Structure 1
C-alpha cells in the first residue's frame, strides 16, 4: 500500500463522495506520491483506508480509468498510469503572456482589501438607493413580452433598437446631447467601451492623451495597446488645453466631474479642447460617469453636444442603478458605431437582451427619472454632512464635489498619503490614496467616498479620523 493516501482531501462545495475520492487519488498521482506503475491496494483495503464504501471506491476508480490516470486489468489489479512530477512541472511553468496582457496587468491598481469600521474607499455600490422594485417590474414585463413580434433591427450588434431609441431620447432631453439611435452602442459598462475603442484605434506608435490624474481603468485600457500615453495636467479648473499634445489619436477626459479631483471643465476650456480635436483629427472620449448623480437639480450638458462628429460619449448605469445591471453605452458618429459593430463579434457580445430591454422600460416609463430625484437628494445630503464633518480636520483642503460619490482632499504638509492611510487604518477607517491615479507628481491627497454611508456613519468615520490626526 506504499504511497496511497491515508485520508480524503477536504470536500468542495457540492462535490459527490465518489468525485472526492477520485480527486484525492488524482492529486496524489500528479504530486508523485503514488508513482507511475504502482499497484494500488485491493478495493476493500483501499476503501477501508479512505473510510468509504467499496462501491464508492469502484466508481472513483472507474472515473480515473476513463481519464487515463489508472489502468485496471483483471487479476493484475489497478496500477497508476500517469507520471506525476513532469505534469506538475508543466503546470507550474510561467504563463506565456502576450505584450497586451503584460501592459494591462502593469496598469492594474489592486484593491488594498481589509475590513474597517467605516470604509471611505471609492468604488463601492450604494445598495440603499438601488430602485430594486422598479427594476424587477421592468424585468418581469420584458420577460412576459419575450417572443412577441418586435420591429426589425438593422443593427443587432449595437444592442436592441428599443433600448437605443430610449437612450437617445433620454440623452437628448436630459444631457443636452445630439444623438440618434444609430449612434448608440450598448456595452457592459464604461470599461468595456474603453477596451473596444482602444483596440480599434490604438497601437504602438500612436498617442493617447489623458487627464493626469485620471481613472486607472482608462489608463490601463489605453496603455495595454502599446500606445504612448501623454498625460495632460489637471489644475483647479480641470484639464489644461494649453498642455495638449501636437498630435493624438484619442483624448480621454471627464469634463462633467473630473476623476478624481471632481472639478468641472468650464465651457471655455471645453471649446478649446474641441477646437484642438478638430485641428489634430483626434477623437475625444468623454466619460460621463457621474452626470446622472450630479448634486444640482439638473446636470450640465454633455460635451458631446458641442461636436458630435468628434466626441464619443461613454456612459454607464452601474453607479446610478447598480453594478449588477452591467448596463453601459457609448455614443459615437455612425461611421464609428458601424466599425465597432463589425469588430465586436471577435471580442465581445452585446449585453443580455432582457436586461437591455428592461433598461429601455425603466427609462421610458419615467421610473429612472423618479429614482434619480430621490437618489440625488440623498447623495446631496450625505455630501453636505461629510463637508461639515471634515471641517474638524484642520489643514485638510476639501474640494466639494459637484457630482459623483466621493470628495478629493489635499493633505496638509508634511503629512504623506502613506501615513494618512496608515493612521486612518489604525482607528478603523479606510481611505483611498490618490497617488496611484496620477502619472506625474501631485500634492499628497486622499479620496473619501460617502454615498454608500448613512449620515451617522459618515460622522462616526470623520470623528475617528479627527481622533487620529488632531
Structure 2
C-alpha cells in the first residue's frame, strides 16, 4: 500500500496526483480497473474507487463508460521545479452552483447541539460508530424525512453516510455486481455521473425537458435510473405526475431500482416543496440526501433511505461518520432548530434570487432567465451567437465563477449557449456588482 499517514484512499489519491504532476502518467494514460489495482495493492476496491472519484472531481482524471478511467487530456505536467508559477484570478464573485450561504451557518445553534452531544453522551457512544449510523440520528432522520419530505422509511432503513456522492457510490458498487448500465439525466450533475462510472456502472443518457426526465423513454433493457424528481439539476424542472407514474411503472415492470437525489428540495419559493418519489414506492426507490446544500458541506453528513432489501448490505459499505457529529445533528433535528433554520434560509434565498433576477433584467436585457422557482441556482440563456465556454473562461479571468451548461451534458447537444448561476453563497450586497462583472465578460467574449 502507498506509504504515509492518513486514510488509504487519500494516500493513493496523492500518489496518483503526484505522478500526473511529475509527468510519470502522460495525457490520456489509462489507469488500471479498480478491482485490479485493489488486488495489486492488497486493499479494498472502495479505497481505489474513492481515490479515482476524488481525482475525477479535481479534474486530474476522467471516467468514461466502457472506456475506464484515464488521465484527463492536457492534465499531465512536467516536474514541478521546471514549471513557471502561474496564478489564477481569485474568485471575487461566486456565481457557481453548489454552495449554500456559508456565512449564515448556524454556528451558535450547532455549537450548542454539539456541546450537548458531547456532555450528555454515555461513555459507550464514544467508541466506533455503529454500522449504518447511530440509532438516535437514524430515528431523527426517519421522522424528518417522513414529516417534511413525504418519505416512507423505518429508522433501520436509514443509512448514515458522509454525503450524497458517497451514498450513491456505495449503492452503485453493490449494483455493479448485478447490472452494467444506469440511465442518468442528461444534462445532469457531472460529478455524480463520474462517481457512478467509477463505481462500475455505465451511465446512459436520459433526456430532460420542461417536464423533467423523459421517464416515458426508459429502456426496458435497463434496470437502474438516477433521477432528481423534486428539482432537476441544472434546469430546475419538476418531474411531472405522469413522468413519476411512468418511472414507477417502469421500475415495477423491469424489477428495477430508482436512485433519487433529493439534493435541495427544501428550497422552493412558489409552493410547498415537492414530496419524494420514494414515498410512493419505498421498495423501488433509494432516496439520497445530505445537509451539504442546507447547512454546509463541512458538516459531512448524508443519508440513504434504502429499500429494506438493500439496507443490511449498505451498512457494511458506506464510510463512517463521527458519532458526536451524528448526535449533534440528531439533537439539531429533534429540537426544531433545523426546521427553524430552513424557514429563515428560504426567506433569505428568495430575497437573493429576486435581487439576482432583477439585476440580470437590468444589466443583461438580451438574456433570458429560467429555473427560478426553487433551489439555489438558475439558468441564463445567452444570445445565440455567444459562446458559453468563452464567457465562462473570460469571467474566470475576471474573478467571476460561473458554470457552462454544456459541462453538465453526457451527450453533446446543440442548445442555446447557457450559463448556470448559483446564488447561495453570494452576499446580497454583491449581487449587482457580480452581474455587472458578468455583463462585462459577456461583452468581452462576444464574437467580432
Paired position in structure 2 for 1:304? 278
What is the alpha-carbon distance in structure 2 between the residues aligned to residue 116 and residue 400 of structure 1? 24
Moved over 6 A (4+): none
Which deviates further from its counterpart, 419-428 or 225-234?
A: 419-428
Aligned counterpart in structure 2 of residue 98 of structure 1, from 25, 29, 32: 32
Could you say which structure has the larger radius of gyration? 1
1:313 corresponds to 2:287: yes
User: 1:96 & 1:211 partners in 2: Cα distance?
Assistant: 27
- Asked whether the equivalents of residues 230 and 245 of structure 1 are also in contact (C-alpha less than 8 Å), the reply is no
Q: CA deviation at 1:105?
A: 7.4
Q: Secondary structure at the match of 1:299?
A: coil
Does the C-alpha gap of structure 1 residues 278 and 452 become closer, same or farther in structure 2, counting only changes over 3 Å? same
In structure 2, runs of 5+ residues without a counterpart are 1-18, 35-47, 61-86, 444-448
Structure-2 residue corresponding to 1:437: 408
Q: CA deviation at 1:439?
A: 1.0
SS of aligned partner of 2:328: helix
1:110 aligns with 2:59: yes
2:386 matches 1:415: yes
Q: How many residues align?
A: 374
With over 3 angstroms needed to count, the CA separation of the structure-2 counterparts of 1:180 and 1:434, relative to structure 1, is same
2:109 & 2:236 partners in 1: Cα distance?
A: 30
Q: How does 1:41-56 map to 2 (within 5 A)?
A: none
The separation in 2 between residues aligned to 1:124 and 1:291, in whole angstroms, is 14
Deviation at residue 224 of structure 1 after TM alignment: 1.4
In the alignment, which residue of structure 1 is the partner of 2:320? 350
Change in 2 beyond 3 A, CA 1:463/1:171: same
1:381 maps onto 2:355 in alignment = no
Q: Deviations over 1:179-213 (max 9, x none)?
A: 11011000000011011001100159621110001
Q: Distance in 2 between matches of 1:467 and 1:302?
A: 41
**Structure 1 counterpart of 2:103:** 128
CA shift in 2, pair 1:358/1:113, >3 Å: farther
1:137-163 Cα distance to aligned partner (Å, 9 max, x none): 00000100122678xx9x931111111
* Partners of 1:172 and 1:178 within 8 A in 2: yes
Query: Does the C-alpha gap of structure 1 residues 97 and 468 become closer, same or farther in structure 2, counting only changes over 3 Å?
Result: closer
SS in 1 for 2:340: helix
- Give 1:315-464 correspondences, 5 Å limit: 315-341=289-315, 343-344=316-317, 348-392=318-362, 393-425=364-396, 427-442=398-413, 443=415, 444-464=417-437
Partner SS state of residue 284, structure 1: strand
The question of whether the paired residues in 2 share the 8 Å contact of 1:202 and 1:222 is answered with no
Counterparts in 2 of 1:149 and 1:219: CA distance versus 1, 3 Å: closer
Query: Quick check: 2:89–2:397 contact (8 Å CA) kept in 1?
Result: no
- Matched-pair contact (CA < 8 Å) for 2:100–2:376: no
8 Å Cα contact 1:157/1:349 also seen in 2: no
Conserved? CA contact 2:205–2:410, under 8 Å:
yes
Deviation at 1:227? 2.7
Q: TM-score, normalised by structure 1?
A: 0.74
Q: Distance in 1 between matches of 2:435 and 2:181?
A: 42
Q: Answer yes or no: is the 8 Å Cα contact 2:150–2:279 preserved in 1.
A: yes
Return 5+ residue gaps in structure 1 as ranges: 1-87
Question: Of residues 186, 191, 197 in structure 1, which corresponds to 2:165?
Answer: 191
TM-score (norm 2): 0.77
**Is the Cα contact below 8 Å between 2:181 and 2:204 reproduced in 1?**
yes
Asked if 1 retains the 8 angstrom alpha-carbon contact of 2:89 and 2:398, the reply is no
Partner SS for 1:293: coil
Q: Over residues 228-284 of structure 1, what are the superposed CA-to-partner deviations in whole Å (9 max), with x where a residue is unaligned? A: 321100112210123212222321111111011111111221111111111111110
Are positions 1:246 and 2:242 aligned together?
Answer: no
Structure 1: distance between partners of 2:55 and 2:182: 17
User: SS of the counterpart of 1:122?
Assistant: coil
Residue 217, structure 1, aligned to residue 191, structure 2: yes
Specify whether residues 433 and 251 from structure 1 end up closer, same or farther in structure 2 by C-alpha distance, changes over 3 A only.
same
Confirm or deny that 1:232 pairs with 2:206.
Answer: yes
Distance 1:296 1:93, change over 3 A: same
CA RMSD of aligned residues (A): 2.7
Cα 1:355–1:426 shift into 2, 3 Å: closer
Is the Cα–Cα contact under 8 Å of residues 169 and 199 in structure 2 kept in the other structure? no
Query: Are 2:216 and 2:243, in contact at CA under 8 Å, matched by a contact in 1?
Result: no
| Contact in 2 for aligned 1:201/1:249 (Cα 8 Å) | no
